[in-house]
Amino acid sequence: MTDRRASRPWLASTLALIVAALLPASASAWAPAGSATIHPGVMTNTEGSGQCTSNFIYTQGGDTLIGQAAHCSGTGAATETNGCDAQSLPLGTKVNVDGAGVQGTMVYNSWIAMQAAGETDEEACAYNDLALVRIDPSDVGKVNPSVPVFGGPQGIGRSAQGQQVYTYGNSSLRGGVTQLSPKSGATIEPTPGGWSYSLYTVTPGIPGDSGSAFLNASGQALGSLSTVAIAPLPASNGVSDIGNEVAYARSHGMTGLTLENGTEPFRPKLLGIAG
């Protein structure tokens, strides 16, 4: 009698290949955090618009994405921040992502999505400020989803008044002084509808930090930098709630969108000083 067990290894190998082909590229091992060139906090530069700081790494289907503020592709004045009427460059616009060898492609923009949906919620119009840039497949092996210095994120969460927050801004206006990029602070208050938080950090966000990631006291993804306020709380940061932004994207064409956890454990550090 023939022993069929000898032929079973080929079946396991075949099944493994099929599963690997069906999984998104990001389901394979991320690049090591210490050597990855694409991660939260790298700069993005949208053609014909402006420079911003990326927030988190996402996946959708077989795509690996990096987030930036929707207003980073805005075509109007800097004061035009209502996403329900401010104009943006179209989907398909190319975006330079630091650390990537090939330009990324903007595949989602909350401003465009809200205008297409006829959105009327005032808080959503004011604070839903997320764009997603697809990383070219040739660059996916360079990606790690961990936030520099702080590690995480570990899921998506919220924040309450007085709670600690952490962020990593990477504006070129700092002249490459990376010691000034990590900052900590505290939540002042959320907006009534929960779409945004007013926050203070040791030094406020500056132009070029737009879109950068914020973590809450537990290391969860909290939001992305949308505005620097002049009034009523001078030098405070307006941070859009990432949970609401991701939920909106999922219900407006980005089905299955996932904000990826970092591979590095959350390491809270006060005053934005690494140690």
Say what the pLDDT of residue 49 is.
72
In a domain, 237, yes or no: no
Residue 132 lies in a domain: yes
pLDDT of 7 reads: 43
**pLDDT per residue as tens digits for the range 128-175:** 999 999 999 999 999 999 999 999 999 999 999 999 999 986 654 444
Any domain includes 68: yes
What pLDDT is stored for residue 10 in this prediction?
42
Task: Decide if pLDDT at 179 tops 60.
Answer: no
Domain of 91, CATH number, reads 2.40.10
Confidence (pLDDT) at 183 = 84
Is the residue at 47 inside a domain? yes
**Does any domain span residue 76?**
yes
Tell me whether residue 78 is in a domain: yes
pLDDT tens string 18-77: 334 444 444 457 999 999 999 999 999 998 677 899 999 999 999 999 999 999 999 988
- Residue 150 resides in a domain: no
Task: Quickly state the pLDDT bin for 15 (edges 50, 70, 90).
Answer: very low
Angle between the 110-117 and 242-250 helix axes, to the nearest 10 degrees? 50
Domains in the chain, number: 1
Domain that holds residue 62: 43-142
DSSP the chain: ---GGGGHHHHHHHHHHHHHHHS-GGGSPPPPTTT-SB-TT-EEEETTS-EEE---EEEETTEEEEEE-GGGGB-S-TT---TTT--BPPTT-EEEETT-SS-EEEEEEHHHHHHHHT---HHHHHH---EEEEPPGGGGGGB--PPTTT----SB----TT-EEEEE---GGGTT-GGGSEEEEEEEEE-TTSSEEEEEESS---TT-TT-EEE-TTS-EEEEEEEE--SSSTTPEEEEEHHHHHHHHHTTT-TT-EEPPPSSPP---GGG---
134 found inside a domain: yes
Q: What is the pLDDT of residues 64-116, one digit of tens each?
A: 999 999 999 999 887 788 999 999 999 999 999 999 999 999 999 999 999 99
CA separation for the pair 128, 248 (Å, rounded):
8
* Mean pLDDT score across all residues of the chain: 83
Q: Judge whether 224 and 196 are in contact, CB under 8 Å.
A: no
